[in-house]
Structure 1
């Protein structure tokens, strides 16, 4: 049995992805067979070679170039901005995995700002039944009042069931059989929903009622309002709390443990040492900037809630 794991990265994120890949390999079971595929558009040959060097007899590292024509309909528009201030196509790559890799009926997707602290095969063995995908509730937003209001009023969803898309166990066969991409593209082109978290909002809306919620240990996120999970299986340094920028981030020890045995360790330590308090203050302010979208989307006649009220079926 092959366990397919996907990342989507841009070239400038290689050093963080290397830490995640290193942790995945270190915790992989030699009795299993893993294939790790990096979806990308601009990954340099040097960085490909560095990432490939983490592979071994049972973890096979591969690269897949995303064709521009595939994602051309997803335009650089403000409603597709990540964190409300810039556009990155790579956040949408995960949605195309089932179509691009028809040989897999199930697949795992994880963001590059993660550390895998347990055997990812345990995650892959999740029984999805007829659910579209499995994921964890987004714990990073539960104490952010404006985000909770956005989920309730703009998305018309339950914030306690709103998942984070940084870790997904995809029912790839269901995505294909039920024409997920056609449905996604239709909604995208018809309504151009203005989103705080574009790919994540689409997944929450289209998967509503068919999302398997997993133990939060599989998407543990640094949070200043809660105690850390004692036995995280996967740590996701979501939003702006990156251990290579902040010294006091929850779960930072996991990151540096696996960073130490990558070729990027000194570079990462230097990045942390040279990151200024002014930059950290600016990072924290980005959250407020991101949440400014709630004000405009709440009165948008074409927001998710209004479109659903008009009778449009957004669920797959």
Structure 2
């Protein structure tokens, strides 16, 4: 048996993914077999080689090309923009994992801006029961008033149960049995819901009554409003405040401890050193821009909350 772990990656994110992969390998049980897949559309041969070179005897590295036909229905339109900022189909790749890999009953997905501080096999051992997936409540937005408003009044969900999609333990059998991807595509093309985090919002909506909420240590995110989790299993550098762009970021030590052991360390340090105060200010403004979307979508007569009243959204 192998433990399947998936990343979605674009070529410009390889160096961060390499840090995550190194941390996964470092914490992997030498007596357990892991297969790490990088879902991609534009990964260069050079970067494939960089990641492949990190494989070990029991941690295998593979690549899976997402063809254009698969994501063609997901149009480059404002409602599909990540954080109201830009369009990237890579955020949707995770939704297709159960269909693309029918050999797996269960799989783990993690974002590339993560670092493992514990054996990911422990996550895989989670008993999901009949739930669609396991995930952690999104702690990065629990003190952001406009995001709480958006979740409650636009998505019509409980903010305390709204999960972050950067780490998922997926019940692949349940995804397939419930025809998740068909329902997702139907809603996507029929309603054009204007979303702040498109893949994440759909996962929360379609899995509303079928999500197993996991220990928050498995998706620890930098947060200025709460103290660090003392023993995080997985750190997720969510949103804009990345340790390769900002200093004094919560949990940054875990990133640099692992980055130092990769071939990209000097490049990452240079990226931090060269990142300007103006660029950091732009990142802060991006957060404000993202929050402005909450006001716009609240006034949309075809938002999630309004359509749900018609009984059209339940999985």
The TM-score bracket by the shorter chain reads over 0.9
Report matched runs for 1:193-208 at 5 Å: 193-208=193-208
In structure 1, the residue matched to 2:283 is 283
In structure 2, the residue matched to 1:315 is 314
In structure 2, the residue matched to 1:122 is 122
In structure 2, the residue matched to 1:255 is 255
For 2:174 and 2:80, locate their aligned partners in 1 and report how far apart those are by CA, in whole Å.
25
- Residue-by-residue CA offset, 1:19-77 (whole Å, 9 max, x unaligned): 00000000000110000000000000000010011111100000000010011000001
TM-score, structure 2 as length reference: 0.99
For 2:85 and 2:109, locate their aligned partners in 1 and report how far apart those are by CA, in whole Å.
24
For 2:240 and 2:198, locate their aligned partners in 1 and report how far apart those are by CA, in whole Å.
17
In structure 1, the residue matched to 2:139 is 139
For 1:68 and 1:310, locate their aligned partners in 2 and report how far apart those are by CA, in whole Å.
33
- 1:291 is displaced (CA, Å) by 1.1
- 1:78 is displaced (CA, Å) by 0.4
In structure 1, the residue matched to 2:14 is 14
- 1:226 is displaced (CA, Å) by 0.5
For 2:69 and 2:208, locate their aligned partners in 1 and report how far apart those are by CA, in whole Å.
29
For 2:185 and 2:75, locate their aligned partners in 1 and report how far apart those are by CA, in whole Å.
11
- 1:281 is displaced (CA, Å) by 1.1
In structure 2, the residue matched to 1:26 is 26
TM-score, structure 1 as length reference: 0.99
Specify every segment of 5 or more residues in structure 2 that has no aligned partner in the other structure, as ranges: none
Report matched runs for 1:1-316 at 5 Å: 1-312=1-312, 314-316=313-315
For 1:252 and 1:92, locate their aligned partners in 2 and report how far apart those are by CA, in whole Å.
27
**Number of equivalent positions:** 315
Specify every segment of 5 or more residues in structure 1 that has no aligned partner in the other structure, as ranges: none
For 2:95 and 2:71, locate their aligned partners in 1 and report how far apart those are by CA, in whole Å.
10
For 1:198 and 1:237, locate their aligned partners in 2 and report how far apart those are by CA, in whole Å.
18
The alignment's C-alpha RMSD in Å is 0.6
- Residue-by-residue CA offset, 1:209-244 (whole Å, 9 max, x unaligned): 110000000000000011000000000000011000
- 1:315 is displaced (CA, Å) by 2.7
For 2:179 and 2:273, locate their aligned partners in 1 and report how far apart those are by CA, in whole Å.
48
- Residue-by-residue CA offset, 1:181-225 (whole Å, 9 max, x unaligned): 100000001100000000000000000011000000000000001
